Amino acid sequence: MNLSSFSKRYHVRRMKKADVTNIYLLCSKNSMYYQYCPPPVTKQSILGDMEALPPNKEMDDKYYIGYYKGEELIAVMDLIMAYPDEKTAFIGFFMTAVSIQNTGIGSGIIDELCCCLKDIGFSHIRLGWVKGNPQAEHFWHKNSFVETGITYNTDHYTVIVAQRIL
Protein backbone atom coordinates (compact mmCIF):
# COMPACT_ATOMS: atom_id res chain seq x y z
CA MET A 1 0.00 0.00 0.00
CA ASN A 2 1.46 3.35 -1.04
CA LEU A 3 0.77 5.71 1.85
CA SER A 4 0.92 8.78 -0.37
CA SER A 5 -2.51 7.73 -1.67
CA PHE A 6 -3.97 8.35 1.82
CA SER A 7 -3.61 12.12 1.47
CA LYS A 8 -2.80 14.70 -1.15
CA ARG A 9 -2.52 17.44 1.49
CA TYR A 10 -0.30 15.86 4.12
CA HIS A 11 2.72 13.62 4.22
CA VAL A 12 1.69 10.26 5.66
CA ARG A 13 4.11 7.69 7.03
CA ARG A 14 4.21 4.71 9.37
CA MET A 15 5.12 5.64 12.93
CA LYS A 16 8.20 4.10 14.52
CA LYS A 17 9.40 3.74 18.11
CA ALA A 18 11.46 6.90 17.61
CA ASP A 19 8.20 8.83 17.07
CA VAL A 20 6.75 7.95 20.48
CA THR A 21 7.67 11.24 22.13
CA ASN A 22 5.95 13.31 19.42
CA ILE A 23 2.89 11.04 19.47
CA TYR A 24 2.78 11.38 23.26
CA LEU A 25 2.91 15.18 23.03
CA LEU A 26 0.00 15.16 20.56
CA CYS A 27 -2.09 12.68 22.57
CA SER A 28 -1.52 14.01 26.07
CA LYS A 29 -3.04 17.39 25.18
CA ASN A 30 -6.34 15.67 24.26
CA SER A 31 -7.32 15.28 27.89
CA MET A 32 -11.08 14.94 27.27
CA TYR A 33 -10.55 11.81 25.21
CA TYR A 34 -8.83 10.07 28.13
CA GLN A 35 -11.52 11.15 30.58
CA TYR A 36 -13.95 9.04 28.55
CA CYS A 37 -11.42 6.39 27.55
CA PRO A 38 -9.13 5.82 30.55
CA PRO A 39 -6.38 5.27 31.50
CA PRO A 40 -4.46 8.40 30.49
CA VAL A 41 -1.93 7.95 27.71
CA THR A 42 1.71 7.08 28.46
CA LYS A 43 4.66 6.45 26.17
CA GLN A 44 4.36 2.80 27.17
CA SER A 45 0.67 2.64 26.18
CA ILE A 46 1.55 4.13 22.78
CA LEU A 47 4.22 1.47 22.23
CA GLY A 48 1.59 -1.14 23.11
CA ASP A 49 -0.92 0.37 20.67
CA MET A 50 1.72 0.31 17.91
CA GLU A 51 1.90 -3.47 18.27
CA ALA A 52 -1.75 -4.25 19.08
CA LEU A 53 -3.77 -6.32 16.61
CA PRO A 54 -7.34 -7.57 16.55
CA PRO A 55 -7.87 -11.36 16.44
CA ASN A 56 -6.57 -13.13 13.31
CA LYS A 57 -4.86 -10.06 11.86
CA GLU A 58 -1.16 -9.62 10.98
CA MET A 59 1.15 -6.60 11.20
CA ASP A 60 0.91 -6.33 7.39
CA ASP A 61 -2.77 -5.38 7.82
CA LYS A 62 -1.98 -2.63 10.33
CA TYR A 63 -1.16 0.98 9.53
CA TYR A 64 -0.19 2.96 12.62
CA ILE A 65 0.44 6.20 10.77
CA GLY A 66 1.19 9.85 11.27
CA TYR A 67 0.04 12.80 9.18
CA TYR A 68 2.56 15.62 8.81
CA LYS A 69 2.04 19.22 7.79
CA GLY A 70 5.61 20.13 6.96
CA GLU A 71 7.58 18.96 9.99
CA GLU A 72 4.60 19.04 12.34
CA LEU A 73 2.76 15.86 13.35
CA ILE A 74 -0.91 16.86 13.10
CA ALA A 75 -2.73 13.52 13.33
CA VAL A 76 -2.26 9.90 14.30
CA MET A 77 -4.32 6.97 13.08
CA ASP A 78 -4.39 3.24 13.70
CA LEU A 79 -5.99 1.59 10.68
CA ILE A 80 -6.58 -2.13 10.20
CA MET A 81 -7.31 -3.33 6.68
CA ALA A 82 -9.93 -6.01 6.05
CA TYR A 83 -11.36 -6.16 9.56
CA PRO A 84 -13.83 -7.44 10.68
CA ASP A 85 -14.43 -8.63 7.09
CA GLU A 86 -12.59 -8.42 3.76
CA LYS A 87 -14.47 -5.35 2.53
CA THR A 88 -14.22 -3.33 5.75
CA ALA A 89 -11.38 -1.19 7.08
CA PHE A 90 -11.28 -0.48 10.81
CA ILE A 91 -10.08 2.73 12.46
CA GLY A 92 -8.83 1.70 15.90
CA PHE A 93 -7.68 5.19 16.84
CA PHE A 94 -7.76 8.65 15.32
CA MET A 95 -6.58 11.85 16.97
CA THR A 96 -5.61 15.29 15.71
CA ALA A 97 -3.33 17.85 17.36
CA VAL A 98 -5.24 20.23 19.64
CA SER A 99 -3.47 23.16 17.94
CA ILE A 100 -5.26 22.50 14.62
CA GLN A 101 -8.62 21.15 15.87
CA ASN A 102 -11.99 22.52 14.77
CA THR A 103 -10.62 23.77 11.46
CA GLY A 104 -11.89 20.87 9.32
CA ILE A 105 -8.54 19.09 9.11
CA GLY A 106 -9.78 15.89 10.81
CA SER A 107 -12.78 15.68 8.48
CA GLY A 108 -10.53 16.33 5.47
CA ILE A 109 -8.24 13.47 6.47
CA ILE A 110 -11.19 11.09 6.87
CA ASP A 111 -12.69 12.14 3.52
CA GLU A 112 -9.41 11.54 1.70
CA LEU A 113 -9.03 8.18 3.43
CA CYS A 114 -12.56 7.15 2.44
CA CYS A 115 -11.89 8.00 -1.22
CA CYS A 116 -8.64 6.03 -1.17
CA LEU A 117 -10.19 2.96 0.48
CA LYS A 118 -13.13 3.02 -1.91
CA ASP A 119 -10.74 3.16 -4.87
CA ILE A 120 -9.00 -0.02 -3.72
CA GLY A 121 -12.26 -1.89 -3.25
CA PHE A 122 -13.39 -1.43 0.34
CA SER A 123 -17.12 -0.94 0.94
CA HIS A 124 -17.18 0.17 4.60
CA ILE A 125 -15.12 1.87 7.30
CA ARG A 126 -15.94 0.87 10.85
CA LEU A 127 -14.91 2.24 14.25
CA GLY A 128 -16.05 2.74 17.81
CA TRP A 129 -16.39 5.68 20.15
CA VAL A 130 -16.94 5.84 23.87
CA LYS A 131 -20.60 6.40 24.66
CA GLY A 132 -21.13 9.92 25.94
CA ASN A 133 -17.97 11.49 24.45
CA PRO A 134 -19.58 14.53 22.78
CA GLN A 135 -16.55 15.47 20.66
CA ALA A 136 -16.10 12.00 19.18
CA GLU A 137 -19.82 11.44 18.63
CA HIS A 138 -20.28 14.81 16.91
CA PHE A 139 -17.20 14.32 14.75
CA TRP A 140 -18.10 10.85 13.50
CA HIS A 141 -21.76 11.76 12.89
CA LYS A 142 -20.60 14.84 10.94
CA ASN A 143 -18.42 12.49 8.88
CA SER A 144 -21.35 10.21 7.95
CA PHE A 145 -20.69 7.40 10.40
CA VAL A 146 -23.88 5.72 11.57
CA GLU A 147 -24.36 3.49 14.59
CA THR A 148 -24.50 -0.22 13.70
CA GLY A 149 -26.53 -1.05 16.80
CA ILE A 150 -23.57 -3.01 18.16
CA THR A 151 -22.19 -1.88 21.50
CA TYR A 152 -19.81 -3.51 23.91
CA ASN A 153 -18.90 -2.86 27.51
CA THR A 154 -15.49 -2.63 29.10
CA ASP A 155 -14.97 -2.25 32.86
CA HIS A 156 -14.95 1.55 32.55
CA TYR A 157 -17.07 2.51 29.52
CA THR A 158 -19.38 1.43 26.72
CA VAL A 159 -18.21 1.48 23.09
CA ILE A 160 -20.63 2.37 20.30
CA VAL A 161 -19.74 0.71 16.99
CA ALA A 162 -20.47 2.80 13.88
CA GLN A 163 -19.66 2.60 10.18
CA ARG A 164 -19.64 4.61 7.00
CA ILE A 165 -20.59 3.16 3.64
CA LEU A 166 -17.99 4.04 1.03
Ligand X SMILES: CC(C)(COP(=O)(O)OP(=O)(O)OC[C@H]1O[C@@H](n2cnc3c(N)ncnc32)[C@H](O)[C@@H]1OP(=O)(O)O)[C@@H](O)C(=O)NCCC(=O)NCCS
What is the binding site for ligand X (CB under 6 A)? 30, 33, 94-96, 101-107, 129, 134-136, 138-139, 142
Give the phi and the psi of residue 119 in degrees, each rounded to 5: -60, -35
- Which CB sits closer to ligand X, 48 or 104? 104
In the complex, least distance from residue 25 CB atom to ligand X, rounded to whole angstroms: 13
In the complex, least distance from residue 107 CB atom to ligand X, rounded to whole angstroms: 3
> For residue 144, what are the contacts with CB-CB under 8 A and spacing of at least 6?
164
- Which CB sits closer to ligand X, 86 or 132? 132
Nearest to 79 by CA among 100, 57, 101: 57
In the complex, least distance from residue 135 CB atom to ligand X, rounded to whole angstroms: 4
- Which CB sits closer to ligand X, 50 or 77? 77
Measured distance CA(65)–CA(12) in Å, rounded: 7
- Which CB sits closer to ligand X, 81 or 110? 110
Helix pair 43-51, 20-28: axis angle to 10 deg: 110
